[in-house]
Amino acid sequence: MRILILEDEPIIAFDLEDIVSSNLDAECLLASNLDEGLEHIDSGIDFALLDVSLGDNGETSLPIAAKLIQRRIPFCFVSASLGSLPASYRHVPQVSKPFRPNEVTRVLPLAA
């Protein structure tokens, strides 16, 4: 299993990687921007944890979310910017930052 973690803050990305690795036998693919995330999707993933806002340049993960929906790949938003999500993404599982490890653990069965 391959899980994309799209997060622009390295410490948070590593925390998410630790949570995933502790709960699943999965390869974590880390990306900090849209281009890296798209490359990982094209190489094949099974699940994704996406931050909504990526850096100070206004980049978001919404193009990746759209591609994941199109390819029927499950994912979860893990973000402090959940309020900025368009209504069309409100059905997607969400974990608000700051998060507790068990909140992330609860969404991991979606990856199986």
| Better-predicted residue by pLDDT, 49 or 112 | 49
Write out pLDDT tens, residues 28-45. Answer: 999 999 999 999 999 999
Contacts 24+ apart (CB under 8 A), 31-37: 31/4, 31/5, 31/6, 31/7, 32/6, 32/7, 32/8, 33/8, 33/59, 34/59, 34/60, 34/61, 34/63, 34/64, 36/6, 37/4, 37/6, 37/61, 37/64
Percent of the chain with pLDDT over 90: 88
Q: Are strands 94-96 and 75-79 parallel, antiparallel or unpaired?
A: parallel
| Better-predicted residue by pLDDT, 110 or 6 | 6
pLDDT band at 1 (very low <50, low <70, confident <90, very high): very high
pLDDT band at 109 (very low <50, low <70, confident <90, very high): confident
- How far apart CA 59 and CA 88 sit, in angstroms, is 18
- How far apart CA 79 and CA 37 sit, in angstroms, is 16
pLDDT band at 110 (very low <50, low <70, confident <90, very high): confident
Write out pLDDT tens, residues 64-97. Answer: 999 999 999 999 999 998 988 999 998 999 999 9
